[in-house]
Amino acid sequence: MMTNTQDIQFSKEAMEKVQKIISRYPSDRKKSALIPILHIAQAEFDGWLSPQTMDYVASILNIQSIEVYEVASFYSMFNLEPVGNCLIEVCRTSSCWLCGAEDIIDHIENKLGISVGETTPDGMFTLKAVECLGSCGTAPMMQVGADYHENLTIEKVDNLFDQFRNENKKSRYC
Amino acid sequence: MSKKLLLKNDHIPGINTLATYKENGGYAVLTNALKNLSPDAIVEEVKKSGLRGRGGAGFPTGMKWSFLAKPEGVPRYLVCNADESEPGTFKDRYLMERIPHLLVEGMILSSFALGANTSYIYIRGEYFYVANILEKAIDEAYQAGYLGKNILGTGFNLDLYVQVGAGAYICGEETALLESLEGKRGNPRIKPPFPAVAGLYGCPTVVNNVETIAAVVPIIEMGGEEYAKIGIGKSTGTKLISASGHINKPGVYEIELGLPVEEFIYSEEWCGGIRGGRKMKAVVAGGSSVPILPTELILKTVNGEPRLMSYESLGDGGFISGTMLGSGGFIVMDEETSIVKNLYTFSRFYHHESCGQCSPCREGIGWMERILEKILDGRGTLADIDLLWDIQSKIEGKTICPLGEAAAWPVAAAIRHFRPEFEAYVTNPDSIKDIKHYYRLKN
């Protein structure tokens, strides 16, 4: 069922980006723009994709809502539930594990008082453990929104979190 | 053996800009080729070079190009696979970040050779900042007349775009990548038809890895025959190796194929030996999906010959005693590493990344992950080890795409070469300290 999408609108700048992306594909293949547009939507609307946001994207591309849902639910970068201002994703696959990723995850859990998959009560941080992000030579690492932080040590993590708190940081998604 | 073709200029400040890239000879190969070579002549040089796909499969690039169907009035596409997601692999990221114009130049050259007028670089979503670097390089190339209409007055038109993915290892499989590029879930297609006949939007399409396309530039510069003299046997040219794990100098290295593995690991020029002066236990030489080998087999073949960094030498002995060059994701493990735990991270990875189309992969990898979890938790039995072996053998070869094999091979190799370690976990679980904490297991 279509949800009312009247309240959801891209900003002028975002809409310009969306139109530019759509122009990259043959006119009968606009659906190709779906994934890039979902990234823009996530960046515009608090770091996650609500059903209303997805319906809005469907209306822009003139496709069925289900075509957006099935794609959004397939790719791990799309958040289908609200996330904290700062989305912290720590890699835990082989090379990062070999270089101490679990100590980093433990430390962040203790520091924030939450477990992997949870958001702090103040809505500031969401912590996730993720699979290989292509940073194996600079392990361990974490991604915060679109930003890579590599060669992590406990001390480096502490400094980063101090910085995030001081800046009242909101993740940048694209 | 430090022959450099791709990374010869990576240390030059500002090499990511068009101006500096050009000052160092950039776009000269393209300019010369567009004016003096026919598309077929470029394909011929690539064939002669012996270049093999650098994404992992190692299929001859010139042959792949020659399969491209050319029906009248139907557009053809070149798609660059920059979805680098194989654990242990980060070379394409380095190349695109440092020398984006090398990829752009390679894309224009290859598009010209294949007769493509629209080309895409599909990059994994997490590499957002790299996508921005590429976009900037492409903008510069448009302004300089290397992209767009009537390039350098030759009449050749090309539009080049970057497309970001959104977190799915499977989109590195070329037909899944094409599905994703069409705005769909990344479900691999049943082949045939191959992309060379029916790829993007049902049109003939070539999908090549970043490093493969970048290598076309030096190949056309020196000629295919000269390129084929570099390397060893059928492993021609140079290869980017992503070195990680317990080594002193992790990073991306360009090696001439044929370099001895031992030299690569221990020489100061490359990995610089094992961290903390420890001994080496095992190596995953070509990304997470290739068989792990213990020290004695990665350094020497069963015949006692030194193992070389080449497709043939790493493959010597088949899967009984050999492995694969794969993507060049070279993960080194020291003597204190638990092979079982490392394998668990691989199975967890593949379970997470299965697209879910084929039951053996969707269900089987989850079973393997849970059995490994059980073994690590000290609740395993000897029969579980046999069960793991049985499951992996029933995934291999029974799925639409190679993700099934990619998940099965590491399990088979770990048991083949390190079975006593699995048995120790099972027969003496008390020896495993604090495993629940260490592995973040429930209970």
CB spacing of B89 vs A136 below 8 angstroms: yes
CB spacing of B166 vs A137 below 8 angstroms: no
CB spacing of B250 vs A116 below 8 angstroms: no
pLDDT tens digit string along A104-161?
999 999 999 999 999 999 999 999 999 999 999 999 999 999 999 999 999 999 999 9
3-state secondary structure of B182: coil
Res A4: pLDDT: 54
CB spacing of A35 vs B163 below 8 angstroms: yes
Q: Does A162 touch chain B (CB under 8 A)?
A: no
Least CB–CB distance from B182: residue in A31, A36, A38: A31
Per-position DSSP letters for B392-405, written without gaps between them = HHHHTT-SSSTHHH
pLDDT tens digit string along B200-225?
999 999 999 999 999 999 999 999 99
Q: What's the helix, strand, coil split of chain A in %, to 5?
A: 45, 10, 45
Res B436: pLDDT: 41
Answer for the pair B224, B60: CB distance below 8 angstroms, yes or no: no
Is the ipTM of this structure higher than 0.85? yes
Res A174: pLDDT: 67
Answer for the pair B171, B165: CB distance below 8 angstroms, yes or no: yes
Q: Does A43 touch chain B (CB under 8 A)?
A: no
Helix (H) or strand (E) holding A133: none
Confidence bin at A1 (pLDDT 50/70/90): very low
Least CB–CB distance from B345: residue in A78, A94, A116: A94
| A138 chain-B contacts, CB cut-off 8 A | 250
Residues 6+ positions from A12 with CB-CB distance below 8 Å: none
Q: Does A64 touch chain B (CB under 8 A)?
A: no
Helix B403-427 and helix B339-353, axial crossing angle in degrees, nearest 10: 140
Q: Does A3 touch chain B (CB under 8 A)?
A: no
Per-position DSSP letters for A21-75, written without gaps between them = HHTTS-TT-GGGGHHHHHHHHHHHTTTS--HHHHHHHHHHHT--HHHHHHHHTTS
Per this entry, what is the length of chain B? 443
Helix (H) or strand (E) holding B427: helix B403-427
- Find the DSSP H helices in B230-358: 261-266, 295-299, 311-315, 318-321, 339-353
Instruction: Report the C-alpha gap between B219 and B222 in whole angstroms.
Output: 5
Residue A5 has pLDDT above 80, yes or no: no
Res B378: pLDDT: 86
Res B440: pLDDT: 41
CB atoms within 10 A of CB B279: 9
CB spacing of B342 vs A129 below 8 angstroms: no
CB spacing of A129 vs B440 below 8 angstroms: yes
> Peptide bond before B192: cis, by omega within 30 degrees of 0?
yes
| A143 chain-B contacts, CB cut-off 8 A | 126
DSSP 8-state code for residue B209: E
CA-based nearest residue to B171, from B125, B129, B118: B125
Interface test with B, best of A27, A91, A95, A97 (most B CBs within 10 A): A95
Instruction: Report the C-alpha gap between B249 and B269 in whole angstroms.
Output: 9
Answer for the pair B249, B74: CB distance below 8 angstroms, yes or no: no
CB atoms within 10 A of CB B32: 12
Tell me the residue type at A128: K
What's the gap between Cα B46 and its chain centre?
19
CB spacing of B167 vs A132 below 8 angstroms: no
CA-based nearest residue to A137, from B206, B47, B5, B270: B270
Token representation of residue A69: 């849902």
CA distance A96 to chain B (A): 8
| B438 chain-A contacts, CB cut-off 8 A | 102
Least CB–CB distance from B167: residue in A31, A61, A76: A76
CB atoms within 10 A of CB B93: 25
Least CB–CB distance from A136: residue in B87, B159, B438: B87
**pLDDT one digit per residue (tens) for chain B, 443 residues:** 478 999 999 999 999 999 999 999 999 999 999 999 999 999 999 999 999 999 999 999 999 999 999 999 999 999 999 999 999 999 999 999 999 999 999 999 999 999 999 999 999 999 999 999 999 999 999 999 999 999 999 999 999 999 999 999 999 999 999 999 999 999 999 999 999 999 999 999 999 999 999 999 999 999 999 999 999 999 999 999 999 999 999 999 999 999 999 999 999 999 999 999 999 999 999 999 999 999 999 999 999 999 999 999 999 999 999 999 999 999 999 988 999 999 999 999 999 999 999 999 999 999 999 999 999 988 999 999 999 999 999 999 999 999 999 999 999 999 999 999 999 899 987 766 544 444 443 33
User: Which residue in chain B has the smallest CA separation from A76?
Assistant: B167
Res B437: pLDDT: 41
Identify the burial level of A117 via C-beta atoms within 10 angstroms of its C-beta, where 0-12 means exposed, 13-18 middle and 19 or more buried: exposed
Give the residue carrying structure tokens 């050259």: B109
Instruction: Report the C-alpha gap between B173 and A107 in whole angstroms.
Output: 36
CA distance B303 to chain A (A): 30
CB spacing of A97 vs B342 below 8 angstroms: yes
| B185 chain-A contacts, CB cut-off 8 A | 70-71, 74
CA distance readout (Å), A126 to A108, A148, A170, B154, B295 = 11, 16, 11, 53, 40
How much is the pTM?
A: 0.96
Q: Does A97 touch chain B (CB under 8 A)?
A: yes
Res B336: pLDDT: 87
Token representation of residue B373: 């979890």
For chains A and B, CB pairs below 8 A equal 147
Give the residue carrying structure tokens 């959104």: B166
Token representation of residue B315: 């493959």
Least CB–CB distance from A39: residue in B125, B245, B341: B125
DSSP 8-state code for residue B188: P
CB spacing of A94 vs B288 below 8 angstroms: yes
CB spacing of B186 vs A92 below 8 angstroms: no
